[in-house]
Each structure stands twice: as structure tokens, then as C-alpha cells.
Structure 1
Amino acid sequence: MAFKRDPSLPPIDYERIMALTKSARHEWTEKDVIIYALGIGLAQGPMNCEELKFAYEDGLKVFPTFPIAVGFHGNAMEDVGIDYRYVLHGEQAITLHRPLPFIGQVNATSKMVGAWDKGEGRGAVFSHEKIMTLDGDTKPLATIRTTAFARAEGGFGGPQIEQPKPHQPPERAPDRTVRIATTPNQALLYRLSGDLNPLHADPDTAIAAGFPRPILHGLCSFAICCRAVLTEFCDLDPSRIIHHEARFSSPVYPGEVLSIDLWKDGETVSFEARIEDRNIVAVRSGKTILSA
């Protein structure tokens, strides 16, 4: 399906967008931490005391991917001039440098790190990196890299070289497989953490973008995969996660079940997530690095 770019948008200039930077300030409270945990499906069982620690202020823990939600806005990519009606999340990565506090303020700097033109009618890929530093600190708290697939932007004149090769899971059978069900209203809850794109809530917007109904946020699926790693290999200790990355290959609809395959090699966990009923891989090239 070809997507026609809004003609009122200014043309995309490669040299201009690659020079883009942006500074932002973000802050959060215990409430934000809890809403995020609920949005990614934690603490659905009222007697699951370990998951409850991510959603209850008594002994509150911060989920490792939470900084991505905190820093969702205020990015260099916002100034590229993409037609966001036709944008899909392509890849996501987060590296955690310091323990995450449940109340905090950060200064963040963002810059463009890549733009790949797939050609007229084939879309384009844009990537930016954000570094977040806590107030009063000099060392980074987290580094976030976000890649978007802009389906209406192909042919803008950027380089057509291949993107960096994604991580590949081992060829052996997975060491473990975890089933995690999403809920029919999960996108409505997850969007309270900052991503208010109507694609995830409004049926008319979803249909106009080529989907039969609203889709789940890719970042929610990303965090669900982190849940699987955290549960299976970390005893739900968030301090064990120091890096988490993945590529999104197919949208997930709220209410579907993800079957997540996991391979552990030393402190590296590879993963892929498949939509169980449709037998479609939704998240691939996943890699989590654990602390020793």
C-alpha cells in the first residue's frame, strides 16, 4: 500500500535533518512509575507480590524500560518534518548506566544519528539518540535510541545504503518460551505514559492508516519482552538489566497473546516474540544484556 505524504509539509533535506539536535527536561513521580507498570501489564494478579513491587509505592521498583516513556517527547526527530500519520516504530534500544530512582528530574540531549531512503513509494527510516542525565550528576542515567519507519517519506534524497545489521538469535531451539497475554484495553492504558498517537485509540485513525483497528504501541510490546527476560532470568530484579533492544516487524492488536522465545548465552539474552493466534513474528532481533 502506497502512502501519499501531506503536500503542505516542507521537503526533507538530508543535511539539515542530520544536523538536528534538541535539549529537553523531563521529570517523573511514583505515580508515573506505577501507571507505566500497569500499562505494560504488570501486577494483574492481586497476590503476585513480586510484580506488585512495580505498581505499589511501598518498596516501589522502577521497570528498566521506563525512561523511554519519560523521554518520549522532546527529541530531534520531531523536527525532521515526517508525516506522522504513516509512521511506524522500527527499532528501539535502551542502555542503563545508573540505577533508576522512582522520583527524578533529568536533562536530556537528542541528536539524529541516521536517515535511510528506501526509495519512492518504499518509505524511509530515521533514527535519533537521546542521553538522559539526572539533576546533579555528570554521568548519564540512560541512553535511548529510537528508529522510525516513515512509510510516506521515500524518495527524499537521502542515502540508500543498508541499515546496520540487526542482532541475530542463535539457530538452536529456544531455551525457554514465555506466553504473555495483552488485554483488549492495554493500548488505552499504555498511552497514559505519554504516547497519545490516536493510531492506538481511535478506530477511524487506525483504518485510515491501513489497520482494521487500533494497534498496540510497539514500546508496550518492547517492555513485555523485557518482562519475559526479567521474570525468567533476573528474579524480577530490574538492576540486572543494563541494555535492551529489539526490532518491530508486525503490529500487535490489544488482546493478542505474545509467545516469547528466549535464548541465554552468558549475560546475553536473545529473544523474539510471535503473535500466537496469527503465527506472525511481531518483535525480532531482540537482545538484552544482563549485569554479571
Structure 2
Amino acid sequence: MNIVRDESLPRIDYDHVMSLTKASAHAWTEKDAILYALGIGMGADPLDETELRFVYEDGLKVFPTFPVAVGFHGGALEDIGIDYRYVLHGEHAVTLHRPFPASGRASAASRISGAWDKGAAKGAIFSQEKILTLDGDTQPLATLQTTSFARAEGGFGGPRDGQPSPHRPPSRSPDHILRIATTPGQALLYRQSGDLNPLHADPGTARAAGYERPILHGLCSFAICCRAVMATYCNFDPSRIQHHQVRFSAPVYPGETLAIALWKDGKTVSFEARVESRGITAIRNGLTLLTE
């Protein structure tokens, strides 16, 4: 693909980018938490009482990656001036400082935590930190980290080195492999949690972007990997998840099955996810930190 930046966008300046901050407000209800859990595949078996707790208001539990949907919009990344026609979601992480409530209102403060220039015609990396604080509180509720690969922004003058190294899984064979199937209509349901990009719904948009059909949201795969960790090591107790992060490496099509390889070392769980039918790795460098 010939990548030509939209010259009507403002020129990117490193010092300006690193000074960007943004405040935003977010609100959510039990219905939002349930819709999110349904969108990531929870409750597929309505008789599974363990998963039912995440999709039924009686004794509702909040899935630990739900904060990424709550805080999806309204961040400093939006103000850089990136040409979003050529942006790929690179990495994502959530850190839970306290149990996330099933409903509430929160303020958020975001900043650009890093910007790296890979060189002209090679793209650039931008990373954003966003801290959610429940209204009326002073201590953080959750921290979200978003990293984007902006393919049209290389050569803006930022540093080439210093990007954090990705987490590496152990070299041994996986301790467990858990296969979780997605459904053909899953992206249509997941998008109701806030990411309405037509790439995940409209066949024409997907084909124009080089895909054979609409793709699954990366953040849905992000949550499915957390499902695998919870099922294997936590008995679906959301309080056991302290931190969850991934690096996106290939798209997943709705209806495909993710084979999630898991390694556990103490409180550290490493993971990667493959679509075996196509022989591709969709999620790399996965890391979940567990509480005691």
C-alpha cells in the first residue's frame, strides 16, 4: 500500500506531542458491564453459572478488562494530528488498582507517555497513559495504556530508541493451551461497547482496508486472552487480575478460534494466541499479573 500522509493535518512536533494532556469524564451502568461481557463471549452457555455471574445482574461481577471499554474515548492521542487512515493498534494494557464497580462515574487524565520515530516511510509509535479516578475519590481506580503504530508519521524528528521492550514468554513448552471460539457475529456485538469503527462491521470498508471481511476488534481478543487466564488460573475470580497487557500482531476474523498458550511463573502469567486454521499468531508478548 502506498502511504501518503494527509498534508492538511498539522505537522507533528515531538516537544508538542510530549506536552499533550487531556481530561475526560466517563460513566457506565450495570447494563454496560453486562453488554461488554456478552461481547467478549461470556455467557455463551447460559447454564454455566460461573460465567453467568458476569452477564446477570443478580450478584453481577465485572470482567477485569471492562475498564478499557469505559475509557476507550477521550485521550491525548486524539490531539496529536495522526493520519488515522494508516494507524494500527499496537499494544494495550490495563492495571486495576481497586475493584472496578459495576456502575459509576469517573474522571480521567491522559498524557502521551512516549513517542518514537522509526524513520521516514517507516512510521512512528505513540503511547498514551490514561488514569481513571472514581468521582469522589482521590486514589486511582484503573490505568490504561494504549500504543499506536502510525504508519504515515515517520520522520517527525522524535527519538528512535528507548521504547520499552516487550514481555517475553518462557522458552519452554506452554503449561496449558486453551481454545476459545469466537462467533461470526461477535464484532457486531462487541462494537456496542464503544468502538464503532466500520472496519469491524461493514464488508466494503474491510475490503478497502485490505481484509477479506470485517475483522474482530483487537480489544475483544485482548479480553478473550484474559478469559483464558481466568479460566485456567483464577476460577473466574476478577479480583485475581491485577494487570493485563498484549501486543497485537495479526487480525482475527469473527468465527475463528483462538488457541491461547499459557505459561505461569508465580504471579506472572505469559501468553500468546494463535489462529491455528490460518497458522498466524494474533497476540504476542502477553502478560497478566495476578494478586495473591
What range describes the TM-score normalised by the shorter chain of this pair? over 0.9
- Could you give the per-residue CA deviations for residues 64-101 of structure 1, whole angstroms, max 9, x where no partner exists? 00011000011000001111122111001111001111
Q: Give 1:189's aligned residue.
A: 189
State the shift of 1:206 in Å. Answer: 1.9
State the distance in 1 between where 2:104 and 2:280 align: 39
- Matched to 2:115, the amino acid is A
Q: How does 1:265-276 map to 2 (within 5 A)?
A: 265-276=265-276
State the shift of 1:271 in Å. Answer: 0.3
Instruction: Tell me, yes or no, if structure 1 residue 215 matches structure 2 residue 215.
Output: yes
Give 3-state SS (helix, strand or coil) of 1:189's partner: helix
Q: Which moved more, 1:236-245 or 1:181-190?
A: 181-190
Give 3-state SS (helix, strand or coil) of 1:184's partner: coil
Q: CA RMSD in A?
A: 1.1
CA contact (8 A) 1:2 1:121 kept: no
State the shift of 1:288 in Å. Answer: 0.4
Structure 1 stretches of 5 or more lacking a match?
Answer: none
State the distance in 1 between where 2:84 and 2:239 align: 35
Give 3-state SS (helix, strand or coil) of 1:227's partner: helix
State the distance in 2 between where 1:163 and 1:206 align: 31
Q: Give 1:21's aligned residue.
A: 21
Superposition TM-score, scaled by structure 2 size: 0.97
Q: How does 1:65-144 map to 2 (within 5 A)?
A: 65-144=65-144
State the shift of 1:162 in Å. Answer: 5.0
CA contact (8 A) 1:131 1:140 kept: yes
- Matched to 1:20, the amino acid is L
Q: Give 1:151's aligned residue.
A: 151
Give 3-state SS (helix, strand or coil) of 1:229's partner: helix
CA contact (8 A) 1:86 1:209 kept: no
Give 3-state SS (helix, strand or coil) of 1:211's partner: coil
Give 3-state SS (helix, strand or coil) of 2:2's partner: coil
Superposition TM-score, scaled by structure 1 size: 0.97
The sequence identity of aligned pairs, in percent, is 69
State the distance in 2 between where 1:75 and 1:209 align: 25
State the distance in 2 between where 1:100 and 1:269 align: 21
State the distance in 2 between where 1:125 and 1:207 align: 25
CA contact (8 A) 1:35 1:193 kept: yes
- Could you give the per-residue CA deviations for residues 141-165 of structure 1, whole angstroms, max 9, x where no partner exists? 0011000111222222222225211
Q: Give 1:180's aligned residue.
A: 180
State the shift of 1:254 in Å. Answer: 1.1
State the shift of 1:207 in Å. Answer: 2.2
Displacement over 3 Å in runs of 4+: none
CA contact (8 A) 1:111 1:130 kept: yes
Give 3-state SS (helix, strand or coil) of 1:254's partner: coil
